[in-house]
């Protein structure tokens, strides 16, 4: 059964952030009732920056790899670390944690990812080169790791002590030996902390800040290998936590100096404190009034702590549940008073923010002036030919096409990606990939003849780009690889399911499958951006003619490939009349257009 859901935009018109709605399907007769589906509704205004990437679950921590272009998100409800590529923003790996993970840390030598798990007696360890699990850290009896941070000399762990007094304390970890010790004192201070305690290390490994929800702060100095400062603030605090390389620290909305003395209460323009990140001798901070409002990101001038260029973002960052404004996804933040929602990437191409719907991507220069997009070329994505048809997969070239690089694996394809939206004669195009110089998309099936392509971005609207859409414009894909060879025509032998190459030639009694783009409309019709069904199979309305060395071959099927978007296939049977040779032309003709590829044929 297929259910179509349409959203009444009027119901969300007053919202400017992301609203989370649970779609519940019920039946008195169904055997297998599906789980509730989370639906995110966003009605952003033009000045709101960023691209939202949907990630379900309870997300409690984010960390950018300091030497590799990727980032990690801790998903507590599934006991997982989600690993994302920082160029495409696609998830590339899932790492298993123990129960109720709370915080991640990366060792100072950049070799290992450590995960503290509140309902476990061990710390999970992953090799950052291979993303394979390494030998874990076994905690002393009764110690549950809640927060962890690594300096240049040691890793500190805030633990819950289930077997004695005090109820919470600090352990020290030597990563190479996996040995954990419990120091009797923290320098001149008692080794006794509150349960709601967070640790955060400076990037250069010189210090670790310890912050407690009651306002008690302590500072570990790596050179002295000891806690050297302790201070009690007058009020309880929560929200962002950060440590700089230049002896400044942040807890909530307070900027602290090297003695942990508050030197500035930062402005409330960003709303509730959510995330803070020091970058060189400047900083970024993010917050929001509540979970349903737009987030606000602003730059912070150091050492004064002045906030400048506040910019609204597409949705709210995750907020402390204690504020009464957070969504259920942020409930885990009550377990730790401070948290990270802001992760500037190693490449300095983008900034990642944990937000209501998962995470949002902002270009590094999100607040700089942007230029209007300019379209210069459109080709089919199969062989880069300029002929196009309804439903063709296309590549659009130009400048300032998107503020970020972003690919999607959503099904159906979105019609807006990376703050870029393409239309042809007013119809939106489903989009697969965007960057500053290229967009990959699919033409709607309803367009025909002379049409106008227009791109909308935060920088403005492109000039009209006129193109001609033919009824059919077949193009064989050239995306095959075999060994070191690439750009091989996507023609498959049915007998061994391998690409046709010089070493895997066509035989005269073979059946072949040819993969193409641009074969036009089908029966039944399929909507652009939606995978083709397998039952019934969508067949092309205009039958193709296929010849091999000038000899017609039998076409047994021509239509969309089941499960694929915009990909067609032609199944043919080869007869004994075709000629043998090293480079015999295989030609597909349809509605006056044709595409060809040379293949080797043997007896």
Is 546 domain-assigned?
yes
Question: Which of 436, 452, 469 delimits the end of a domain?
Answer: 469
Residue 201 · residue 210 · CB < 8 Å: no
Work out the average pLDDT over 509-521.
Answer: 95
Is 44 domain-assigned?
no
Strand partners, 103: 116
Give the least confident one: 29-38, 121-130, 264-273: 29-38
- CATH classification at residue 182: 2.130.10.10
Count Cβ atoms below 10 Å from residue 134 Cβ, excluding itself.
17
- CATH classification at residue 460: 2.60.40.10
Residue 269 and residue 358 share a domain: yes
Work out the average pLDDT over 204-232.
Answer: 95
Q: Which of 342, 289, 292 is nearest to 315 (CA)?
A: 292
Residue 241 and residue 94 share a domain: yes
Is the per-residue pLDDT at 264 higher than 60? yes
Residue 483 and residue 457 share a domain: no
Going by pLDDT thresholds of 50, 70 and 90, the confidence category of residue 13 is: low
Looking at the structure of the chain, the number of domains it has is 3
Is 533 domain-assigned?
yes
Tokens representing 298 are: 């602003």
Residue 490 and residue 462 share a domain: no
Radius of gyration for the chain, computed over Cα atoms and rounded to the nearest angstrom: 29
Q: Which of 5, 8, 35, 33 is nearest to 19 (CA)?
A: 8
Q: Which of 252, 307, 265, 264 is nearest to 282 (CA)?
A: 307
The parent domain of residue 549 ranges over: 475-602
Is the per-residue pLDDT at 330 higher than 60? no
Read off the pLDDT of residues 139-174 as tens digits, 9 standing for 90 and up: 999 999 999 999 999 999 999 999 888 999 999 999
Q: For a pLDDT cut of 90, what percent of the chain falls above it?
A: 71
| Max CA distance (Å), the chain | 93
Question: Which of 336, 363, 390 delimits the end of a domain?
Answer: 363
Question: Which of 469, 484, 506 delimits the end of a domain?
Answer: 469
Q: Which of 410, 363, 388, 521 is nearest to 466 (CA)?
A: 388
Q: Which of 409, 415, 410, 457 is nearest to 435 (CA)?
A: 457
Dist CA 134 CA 128 (whole Å): 10
The most confident of the ranges 19-23, 407-411, 535-539 is: 535-539
Is the per-residue pLDDT at 334 higher than 70? no
Read off the pLDDT of residues 84-113 as tens digits, 9 standing for 90 and up: 999 888 899 999 999 999 999 999 999 999
pLDDT at position 481: 85
- CATH classification at residue 541: 2.60.40
Residue 460 and residue 573 share a domain: no
Residue 126 and residue 180 share a domain: yes
**Interstrand relation of 51-54 and 358-363 (parallel, antiparallel or unpaired):** antiparallel
Work out the average pLDDT over 548-576.
Answer: 95
Is the per-residue pLDDT at 190 higher than 70? yes
- Select the more confidently predicted residue: 292 or 115: 115
Q: Give me the phi and psi of 473, to 5 degrees please.
A: -150, 70
Give the least confident one: 31-40, 68-77, 466-475, 504-513: 31-40
pLDDT at position 211: 95
Residue 211 and residue 133 share a domain: yes
pLDDT at position 2: 67
Work out the average pLDDT over 505-522.
Answer: 94
Is 544 domain-assigned?
yes
Residue 337 and residue 228 share a domain: yes
Which residues are within 8 A (CB) of 254 and not within 5 positions of it... i.e. 6 or more apart? Answer: 233, 237, 262, 264, 265, 266
Is 2 domain-assigned?
no
Residue 404 and residue 335 share a domain: no
Residue 303 and residue 267 share a domain: yes
Site of tokens 């500072």: 219
Is 209 domain-assigned?
yes
Residue 78 and residue 196 share a domain: yes
Dist CA 578 CA 603 (whole Å): 10
Residue 104 · residue 66 · CB < 8 Å: no
Residue 175 and residue 123 share a domain: yes
Give the least confident one: 199-208, 264-273, 456-465, 512-521: 264-273
Is 321 domain-assigned?
yes
Site of tokens 């007696």: 121
Tokens representing 375 are: 């379209």
pLDDT at position 9: 64
Residue 593 · residue 470 · CB < 8 Å: yes
Going by pLDDT thresholds of 50, 70 and 90, the confidence category of residue 39 is: confident
Give the helix, strand, coil percentages of the chain, each rounded to 5.
0, 50, 50
Read off the pLDDT of residues 336-394 as tens digits, 9 standing for 90 and up: 788 899 999 999 989 999 998 899 999 898 888 778 899 999 999 999 999 999 999 99
Across the beta sheet with 112-117, what order do the strands follow?
Answer: 101-106, 112-117, 122-127, 137-138
Is 487 domain-assigned?
yes
Q: For a pLDDT cut of 70, what percent of the chain falls above it?
A: 96
Dist CA 500 CA 488 (whole Å): 8
DSSP state of 581: E
pLDDT at position 1: 63
Is the per-residue pLDDT at 26 higher than 90? no
Q: Indicate the average pLDDT of the chain.
A: 90
**Interstrand relation of 593-602 and 506-507 (parallel, antiparallel or unpaired):** parallel
Is the per-residue pLDDT at 59 higher than 90? yes
């Amino acid at each position: 059964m297929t259910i179509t859901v349409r959203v009444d935009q009027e119901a969300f018109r007053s919202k400017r952030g992301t609203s989370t709605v649970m779609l519940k399907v019920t039946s008195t007769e169904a055997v297998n009732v599906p789980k509730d589906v989370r639906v995110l509704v966003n009605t952003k205004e033009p000045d709101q920056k960023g691209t939202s990437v949907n990630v379900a679950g309870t997300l409690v921590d984010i960390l950018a790899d300091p030497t590799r272009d990727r980032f990690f998100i801790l998903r507590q409800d599934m006991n997982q670390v989600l690993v994302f590529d920082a160029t495409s923003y696609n998830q590339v790996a899932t790492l298993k944690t123990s129960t109720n993970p709370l915080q991640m840390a990366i060792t100072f030598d950049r070799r290992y990812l450590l995960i503290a798990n509140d309902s476990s007696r061990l710390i999970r360890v992953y090799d950052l080169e291979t993303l394979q699990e390494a030998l874990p850290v076994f905690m002393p009896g009764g110690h549950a790791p809640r927060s962890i941070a690594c300096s240049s000399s040691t890793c500190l762990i805030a633990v819950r002590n289930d077997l004695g007094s005090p109820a919470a304390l600090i352990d020290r970890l030597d990563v190479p030996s996996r040995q954990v010790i419990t120091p009797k004192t923290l320098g001149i201070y008692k080794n006794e902390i509150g349960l709601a305690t967070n640790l955060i290390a400076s990037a250069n490994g010189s210090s670790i800040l310890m912050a407690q929800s009651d306002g008690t702060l302590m500072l570990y100095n790596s050179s002295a290998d000891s806690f050297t400062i302790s201070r009690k603030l007058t009020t309880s605090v929560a929200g962002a936590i950060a440590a700089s390389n230049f002896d400044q620290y942040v807890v909530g909305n307070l900027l602290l100096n090297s003695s942990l003395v508050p030197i500035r209460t930062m402005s409330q323009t960003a709303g509730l404190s959510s995330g803070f990140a020091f970058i060189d001798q400047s900083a970024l901070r993010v917050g929001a009034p509540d979970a349903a409002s737009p987030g606000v990101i602003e730059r912070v001038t150091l050492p004064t702590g002045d906030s400048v260029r506040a910019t609204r973002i597409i949705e709210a960052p995750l907020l402390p549940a204690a504020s009464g404004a957070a969504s259920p996804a942020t409930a885990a933040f009550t377990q730790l008073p401070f948290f990270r929602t802001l992760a500037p990437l190693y490449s300095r191409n983008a900034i990642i923010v944990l937000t209501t719907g998962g995470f949002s991507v902002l270009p590094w220069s999100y607040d700089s002036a942007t230029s209007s997009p300019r379209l210069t070329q459109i080709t089919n994505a199969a062989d880069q030919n300029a002929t196009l048809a309804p439903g063709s997969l296309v590549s659009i070239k130009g400048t300032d096409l998107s503020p970020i690089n972003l690919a999607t694996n959503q099904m159906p394809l979105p019609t807006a990606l990376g703050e870029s939206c393409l239309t042809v004669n007013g119809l939106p195009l489903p989009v697969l990939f965007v960057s500053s110089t290229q967009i990959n998309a699919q033409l709607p099936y309803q367009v025909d003849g002379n049409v106008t392509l227009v791109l909308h971005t935060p920088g403005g609207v492109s000039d009209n780009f006129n193109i001609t859409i033919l009824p059919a414009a077949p193009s064989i894909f050239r995306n095959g690889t075999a060994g070191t060879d690439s750009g091989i025509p996507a023609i498959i032998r049915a007998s061994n399911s391998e690409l046709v190459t010089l070493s895997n030639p066509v035989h005269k009694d073979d059946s072949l499958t040819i993969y193409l783009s641009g074969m036009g409309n089908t029966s039944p019709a399929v909507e652009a951006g939606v995978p083709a069904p397998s039952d019934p199979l969508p067949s092309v309305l205009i039958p193709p003619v296929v010849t091999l060395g000038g000899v017609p071959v039998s076409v047994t099927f021509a239509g969309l490939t089941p499960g694929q978007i915009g990909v067609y296939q032609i199944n043919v049977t080869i007869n004994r009349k075709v000629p043998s040779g090293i480079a015999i032309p295989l030609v597909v003709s349809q509605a006056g257009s044709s595409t060809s590829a040379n293949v080797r044929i043997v007896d």
